[in-house]
């Protein structure tokens, strides 16, 4: 059996940040001033999003998790500084605790105008902030195999990322309400299973031919084979409050991909469960985060989510040192000890009964852990 080239599993990390008025702590339009200024320093690593209160950043292709940490840290520092110079503040959470989408401006761009025209209120209300992690693959065929197998773990990853318990001034009862907002879009959620890359490509071609979409980037599943690159893209996570949480999630995602690849090279496959079953776990992760139970489909039983997460860490343990990501992966245990972003937001609210203090916490944690 040939040795695995762990350098295959490159990383790309995208984060969406909220632009805040530092006095009211409401979401506010920056009229793309932050993006325009940032592009002078970091070029195409920053771009506008559909709502003017959102800034999206993306790393270079990173050879390992350490490089990803440096890149995400530099992006957070750059955006924070530019926003501050222009009189804005920045934060990272899956939803803003109290701002209303109705008062937020849409970016003037043909692509966004087209989406709003088609999706109407579903698009205008889609004021959410996510984390996307790309993992490099040797081929699109392998990317599809990994995507099919990794779908089972999406709720586990999602539970760790939960960071949107509030929506429009209300405590939603969910640890992550972000995906409930996004579910109004078509072609979202847990991905379909495809038995070959040709079957997937034929699906995309049919949607384009019948004017459902104009390109494959409008397939917004929680995990997708990237339409143009040899990567799998994990899209299920709320954007975390801190860089350490982002990097822990990216490291876990990379390790899952590497482990599934390793099994494949040994002619072993992870059991693929139906989308309908994985959806049950996604709902539980959304509602309870790491404090509930997920279903272990092999045992056909409910199991404490933290127990399953420790089992997942054991499952990937044999690839972690090859990837050089052990310190980052170990931070997953910290998340389980101190709570997710949602848990910390809820704790602040429990103590203060004040959503402004919650947003102030989100703002103050944005650069935490960055030297």
Confidence of residue 31 (pLDDT cuts 50, 70, 90): confident
Average pLDDT over residues 113-121: 82
Rg (alpha carbons) of the chain, rounded to whole number: 20
Of all residues in the chain, the percent with pLDDT exceeding 70 is 99
Q: What is the pLDDT of residues 268-306, one digit of tens each?
A: 988 999 999 999 999 999 999 999 999 999 999 999 999
Tokens of residue 78, six digits: 């750059």
Average pLDDT over residues 98-107: 86
Single pTM value for the model: 0.97
Confidence of residue 230 (pLDDT cuts 50, 70, 90): very high
Average pLDDT over residues 224-241: 94
**Residue extents of the structural domains in the chain:** 6-364
Q: Kindly tell me if the per-residue pLDDT of 15 is higher than 80.
A: yes
Q: What is the pLDDT of residues 196-216, one digit of tens each?
A: 999 999 999 999 999 999 989
Q: Kindly tell me if the per-residue pLDDT of 119 is higher than 80.
A: no
Long-range contacts of residues 300-304, Cβ cutoff 8 Å, at least 24 apart: none
Tell me the CATH architecture of domain 6-364.
2-Layer Sandwich (3.30)
**DSSP label of 228:** S
| pLDDT (0 to 100) of residue 108 | 79
Average pLDDT along the chain: 95
DSSP track, 6-73: GGG--EEEEEEEEEE-TTT--B---TTHHHHHHHHHHGGGEEE-SBTTEEEEE---BSSHHHHHHHHH
Confidence of residue 1 (pLDDT cuts 50, 70, 90): very low
Average pLDDT over residues 232-236: 98
Exposure string over 177-215, b if 16+ CB within 10 A, otherwise e: bbbbbbeeeeeebbbebbeebeebbeebeebeeeeebee
| pLDDT (0 to 100) of residue 211 | 95
**For residues 123 and 138, what is the distance between their CA atoms, to the nearest angstrom?**
35
**For residues 77 and 81, what is the distance between their CA atoms, to the nearest angstrom?**
6
Q: Kindly tell me if the per-residue pLDDT of 223 is higher than 90.
A: yes
| pLDDT (0 to 100) of residue 2 | 57
Q: What is the pLDDT of residues 308-360, one digit of tens each?
A: 999 999 999 999 999 999 999 999 999 999 999 999 999 999 999 999 999 99
């Amino acid at each position: 059996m040939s040795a695995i080239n762990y350098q295959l599993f490159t990383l790309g990390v995208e984060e969406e940040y909220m632009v805040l008025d530092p006095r009211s702590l409401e979401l506010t339009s920056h009229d793309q001033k932050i993006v325009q200024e940032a592009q002078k320093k970091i070029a195409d690593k920053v771009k506008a999003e559909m709502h003017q209160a959102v800034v999206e950043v993306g790393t270079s292709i990173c050879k390992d998790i350490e490089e990803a940490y440096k890149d995400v840290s530099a992006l957070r520092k750059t955006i924070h500084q530019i926003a501050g110079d222009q009189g804005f503040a920045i934060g990272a959470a899956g939803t803003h605790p109290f701002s209303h989408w109705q008062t937020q401006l849409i970016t003037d761009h043909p692509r966004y105008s087209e989406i709003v025209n088609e999706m109407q209120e579903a698009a205008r209300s889609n004021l959410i902030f996510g984390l996307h992690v790309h993992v490099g693959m040797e081929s699109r065929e392998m990317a599809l195999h990994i995507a099919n197998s990794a779908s089972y773990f999406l709720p586990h990853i999602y539970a760790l990322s939960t960071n949107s318990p509030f929506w429009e001034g209300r405590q939603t009862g969910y640890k992550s309400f972000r995906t409930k907002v996004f579910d109004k879009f078509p072609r979202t959620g847990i991905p379909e299973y495809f038995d070959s890359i040709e079957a997937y490509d034929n699906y995309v071609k049919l949607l384009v031919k019948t004017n459902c979409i104009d390109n494959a980037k409008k397939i917004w599943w929680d995990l997708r084979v990237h339409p143009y690159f040899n990567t799998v893209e994990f899209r299920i996570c709320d954007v975390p409050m801190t860089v350490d949480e982002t990097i822990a999630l990216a490291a876990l995602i990379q390790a899952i991909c590497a482990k599934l690849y390793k099994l494949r090279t040994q002619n072993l496959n992870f059991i693929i469960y139906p989308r309908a079953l994985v959806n049950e776990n996604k709902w539980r992760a959304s509602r309870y985060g790491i404090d509930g139970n997920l279903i272990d489909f092999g045992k056909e039983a409910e199991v404490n989510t933290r127990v399953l997460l420790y089992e997942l860490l054991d499952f990937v343990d044999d690839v972690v040192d090859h990837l050089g990501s052990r310190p980052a992966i170990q931070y997953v245990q910290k998340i389980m000890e101190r709570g997710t972003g949602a848990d910390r937001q809820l704790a602040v609210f429990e103590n203060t009964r004040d959503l402004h203090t919650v947003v102030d916490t989100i703002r103050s944690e944005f650069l935490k852990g960055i030297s």
